[in-house]
Structure 1
Amino acid sequence: MAWGIQLSINGVTKYGSMETSDIKCLKELEAENRKLKLMFAELSLKSQLQERES
């Protein structure tokens, strides 16, 4: 039960008085940001490898 209480407290601290739809939108943007960061890292690595081969 302590975990549930802690998660609720963390949720209130992180999201404050945001509406549910705002939180959903924020979560979607965070997920998209993670994907874009991964894509950038992969492309950057590929570019570095190609430079070394040249």
Structure 2
Amino acid sequence: GPILGPQREVRVVAAAAMGRILNGGDPATELASAAADANALLADYNARRESGG
């Protein structure tokens, strides 16, 4: 099957950002923050995969 990595965690990050935007948050700020968080999750996942963890 497919390797999904941190898909669930990334979805939570994206949903939280959308919630903040819908509650008046600045879209550019919230999306940039969500992208940074998602990238950190992916980097951590990739590092663990490369180390065999």
TM-score of the pair, normalised by structure 2: 0.50
Q: Which has the higher helix share?
A: 1
Larger radius of gyration: 1
TM-score of the pair, normalised by structure 1: 0.49
